[in-house]
């Protein structure tokens, strides 16, 4: 997915938010915005949003000297999600359709996203998503891939959300490889975050090699790209992975909540909608 002009004001919002997480110095906050202003002319709209996001978050780290502004928030999100895990596990086990319920919960976890939202309430999101209708729901195709495949490549998104991904992987009940970012960017899950969420107990955790807030193929490692191409099918969580992979010719199920107008329009749904969308499936 390309970058839209409407993404540009949002980039400034994100840079300011990340800058405030990284440092209390308002002089540096202003410097971030000025520097992003100077970068603008060189940013291509043909790039995907996470490709541009990568450059912006690198700049934030360089200017503030903080390589991981969301470190503390990521830890807290994971801890909060872990306290919710037992109740969610029970909900899935008692549901008529445990798999679909686990999918809903995994989507609810996707609201843990300080890149797209200034504030979020995970418990409220969990309640809401249980009753929300899917705007796109390729569930039959998803179940077919699940029955026919020996394994799944599951690409994670944010720390904390990881705990709910674990629940879905448990429910899918086939061997899974769980993909994280190589280096910290926003609150995206890295190897350590995935381990804290207990994903090492249900999947093999690997890095995609990227430091972009999404799966931006040219920034991924050769090893990951091979694993991706050889995988039976992929489950990709969240906007950043959708933006990076929506044109990739491979069977991928995207699980996300459309958190901004732009991605909603690109998918053909309404902001706030939840989707389970199969591509090339």
Residue 93 and residue 121: Cα distance in Å, rounded?
Answer: 24
* 3 state DSSP class of 226: helix
Contact 163, 109 (CB under 8 A): yes
Task: Count Cα neighbours of 202 within 13 Å in the Cβ-side half-sphere.
Answer: 23
Residue 169 and residue 175: Cα distance in Å, rounded?
Answer: 9
Per CB under 8 A, which region of 6-14, 146-154, 200-208, 235-243 contacts a copy of itself? 6-14
Per CB under 8 A, which region of 32-40, 80-88, 166-174, 247-255 contacts a copy of itself? 32-40
Regarding 120 and contact with a copy of itself (CB under 8 A), the answer is no
Per CB under 8 A, which region of 25-33, 66-74, 148-156, 265-273 contacts a copy of itself? 25-33
Instruction: Give the nearer residue to a copy of itself in terms of CB position, either 30 or 143.
Output: 30
Instruction: Give the nearer residue to a copy of itself in terms of CB position, either 13 or 124.
Output: 13
Assigned token pair, 118: 């200034």
Give me the sign of the Cα torsion angle 71, 77, 78, 79.
Answer: positive
Per CB under 8 A, which region of 33-41, 49-57, 131-139, 225-233 contacts a copy of itself? 33-41
223-177-220 Cα angle (round to 5): 30
Regarding 25 and contact with a copy of itself (CB under 8 A), the answer is no
Instruction: Give the nearer residue to a copy of itself in terms of CB position, either 29 or 74.
Output: 29
Regarding 90 and contact with a copy of itself (CB under 8 A), the answer is no
* 3 state DSSP class of 265: helix
Binding a copy of itself by CB under 8 A: which of 1, 2, 9, 73?
Answer: 9
What's the length of the chain? Answer: 281
Binding a copy of itself by CB under 8 A: which of 2, 25, 33, 48?
Answer: 33
Binding a copy of itself by CB under 8 A: which of 2, 24, 25, 40?
Answer: 40
Per CB under 8 A, which region of 31-39, 65-73, 137-145, 167-175 contacts a copy of itself? 31-39
Residue 143 and residue 138: Cα distance in Å, rounded?
Answer: 9
C-beta atoms surrounding 21 within 10 Å: 19
Regarding 10 and contact with a copy of itself (CB under 8 A), the answer is yes
Please, which residues have CB within 8 angstroms of residue 97's CB and are 6 or more apart in sequence?
Answer: none
Binding a copy of itself by CB under 8 A: which of 21, 22, 23, 29?
Answer: 29
Residue 149 and residue 163: Cα distance in Å, rounded?
Answer: 23
108: closest CA among 95, 90, 120, 98? 120
Count the residues of the shown chain that bind a copy of itself, applying the rule CB under 8 A.
20
16 sits in which H/E element: helix 7-22
Q: What are phi and psi of 227, to 5 degrees?
A: -60, -40
Binding a copy of itself by CB under 8 A: which of 39, 99, 141, 195?
Answer: 39
Regarding 13 and contact with a copy of itself (CB under 8 A), the answer is yes
Per CB under 8 A, which region of 34-42, 74-82, 139-147, 187-195 contacts a copy of itself? 34-42
Minimum CB–partner distance for residue 176 and a copy of itself (Å): 38
Instruction: Write out the residues near a copy of itself by the rule CB under 8 A.
Output: 5-6, 8-10, 12-13, 16, 26, 29-30, 33-34, 36-41, 45
């Amino acid at each position: 997915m390309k970058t839209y002009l409407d993404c540009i004001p949002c980039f400034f919002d994100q840079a300011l938010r990340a800058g405030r997480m990284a440092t209390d110095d308002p002089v540096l906050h202003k410097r971030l915005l000025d520097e992003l202003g100077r970068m603008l002319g060189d940013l291509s709209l043909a790039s995907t949003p996470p490709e541009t996001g990568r450059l912006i978050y690198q700049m934030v780290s360089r200017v503030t000297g903080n390589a991981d502004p969301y470190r503390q928030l990521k830890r807290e999100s994971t801890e909060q999600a872990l306290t919710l895990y037992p109740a969610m596990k029970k909900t899935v086990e008692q549901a008529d359709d445990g798999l679909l319920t686990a999918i809903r919960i995994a989507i609810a976890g996707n609201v843990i996203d300080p890149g797209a939202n200034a504030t979020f309430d995970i418990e409220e999101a969990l309640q809401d998503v249980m009753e929300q209708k899917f705007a796109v729901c390729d569930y039959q195709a998803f179940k077919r891939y699940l029955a026919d495949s020996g394994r799944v490549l599951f690409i994670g998104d944010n720390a904390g959300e990881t705990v709910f991904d674990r629940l879905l992987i448990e429910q899918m009940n086939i061997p899974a490889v769980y993909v994280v970012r190589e280096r910290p960017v926003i609150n995206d899950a890295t190897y350590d975050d995935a381990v804290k969420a207990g994903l090492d107990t249900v999947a093999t955790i690997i890095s995609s090699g990227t430091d972009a807030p999404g799966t931006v193929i040219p920034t991924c490692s050769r090893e990951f790209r091979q694993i991706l191409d050889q995988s039976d099918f992929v489950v990709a969580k969240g906007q950043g992975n959708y933006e990076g992979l929506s044109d990739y010719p491979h069977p991928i199920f995207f699980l996300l909540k459309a958190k901004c107008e732009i991605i909603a329009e690109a998918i053909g749904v309404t902001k706030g909608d939840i989707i389970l969308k199969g591509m090339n499936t």
